[in-house]
Chain A
Amino acid sequence: MIDPFHYFLIFLKASLFSTGGLSNLPSLRQDLLAEGWAEDAEFGRSVVIGQLSPGPNGLWVISLGYLTYGPAGAILALIAIVLPAFLVLFVAAGYARIARARWVGGAMRGVALAVVGILLSVVWTIMRQPGVDRWGIVIALAAFELVGTKRVRLPFILALAACAGLFLYQ
């Protein structure tokens, strides 16, 4: 029998020590399997659902909550990933306190540049996923060009890419 409070704490802990995406998977997997509250197959399914559904990748835990504990699990998982995000208000307040210090401008410029580097590394990570081959590079470049024209909306481009995938790989 699942103890809702403990279940919520497991999700909250995983969310606190992650930075988005699938980085909270190992922690959740270890804790939920140890309690016997999830099966291995449910993790694979949740990751697939997370990819299919819109929104940040981190929302895959909502499907994990739904699969393991029904609607209540989905709601608990949603609360567990939203709560830690409010810490950003403390970070912003802390930044405002030190913003006038002369070294902070350079430091934040460094962080901003690193964030761009991290975003670019995500491009690489996505392209290294299993199933992405040479045609994937063509699709990525075509999407980059189409998105850059600002004439075609993103969902339409993604639908085109899905059709290309069906045509190429099925």
Chain B
Amino acid sequence: MPVMSGYWRRLQPYRAGGLLYCGPRLARPTTSLDRNHSPVRPIRPTQTCPPRDALVTDHDAPPGPWRLFRLWAGIGFQSFGGGASTQFLIQEQFTARHPWLTPEELLHFLSLCTLTPGINLIALTILIGRKLAGVRGIVASLAGLLLPSAAITCLLAALITRFEGHPAVPAALRGVVPATAGAMLLVGVNYLRPLARTARRDGPGALAASALIVAGAALAIIVLRLSVALVVLAAIGLGALLFPARSLAEDGADTVTRR
């Protein structure tokens, strides 16, 4: 990663206190965030905040349940091609297009979901919904993600005998499937960036350990065909052994800058 350019460094106060500051409505304490000891400190206006009307738009205000429902319904309708597309759209909507979560925080949620049995992306929907709008957020997010997808799935199931033998279906799929792999690669790279930044700061040992765990996890699944649960267990042990003891809550304080 390149050394911070002067322009970028001058932007930092705005990034740390400004872009992440989401307008007056976020003044209510983000309790679910605190309760979870999420790696990201709560968002508060700071002295370095630029004039409000310059940056604060309603677009960035935390979403209510109805807005969450519409956002998730958008993801539910657009994520053709399966989990890879869904992962990509979640990362795009909640970390890039809206400043509601940092990539670190989203990855932390995804880690908790990987520790849970069941479909990870549904669990991730629950955690994001709860953080942004509480219990009503959970209901709105789940309904938004699942109702359109389930409806389209049932529609296709009812019509499958009509298009089953048609050669266009497998041909189009052969194009879409690798495209979702490309989107998935970008999702992985986006998550890797903040981890690599922290590792570089911690020195060559941490950098080597990080590379070992990422490559080891991927190879264990691809080559050895180990189960995800085993890989995660091994990563817990390796992480606790190899990284300096420090709770994520302290660690997050200086990695809060967004990409």
Contact = CB atoms under 8 A, between A and B. Distances in A.
A92 B236 CA distance: 16
Interface in B166-181: 167-181
A124 interface: yes
A144 B76 CA distance: 21
B108 interface: yes
Given A51-B173, A85-B122, A161-B178, A116 B37 contact: no
Interface string B26-44: 0000000001110000000
A120 B157 contact: no
Given A99-B248, A102-B247, A131 B177 contact: yes
Nearest to A119: B188
5 contacts: A19-B118, A51-B173, A86-B126, A105-B250, A143-B182
B239 A58 contact: no
A110 B213 contact: yes
Interface in A24-46: 45-46
The listed residue with most B CB atoms (<10 A of its CB), out of A50, A74, A161, A162, is: A161
Given A92-B112, A107-B240, A113 B213 contact: yes
Given A55-B149, A85-B126, A104-B248, 18 more contacts: A57-B83, A63-B154, A85-B119, A85-B122, A91-B116, A96-B37, A105-B246, A106-B244, A113-B239, A115-B107, A116-B107, A124-B222, A136-B177, A140-B181, A142-B182, A154-B79, A158-B80, A161-B175
Describe A's contact surface by its main secondary structure.
helix
Contacts of B85: 54, 154, 158
B36 A126 contact: no
Given A103-B245, A141-B182, A132 B118 contact: no
Given A108-B248, A155-B80, A113 B116 contact: no
B115 A99 contact: no
Interface string A40-72: 000001101111111111111011001100010
B239 A140 contact: no
B183 A20 contact: no
Interface of A: 15-21, 45-46, 48-60, 62-63, 66-67, 71, 74, 78, 81-82, 84-89, 91-92, 95-96, 99-127, 129, 131-132, 136-137, 139-148, 150, 153-155, 157-158, 160-166, 168-170
Interface of B: 35-37, 76-89, 92, 96, 107-108, 110-123, 125-127, 130, 142, 145-146, 148-150, 152-154, 156-158, 160, 164, 167-188, 191-192, 195, 198, 210, 213-218, 221-222, 228-229, 231-232, 234-251
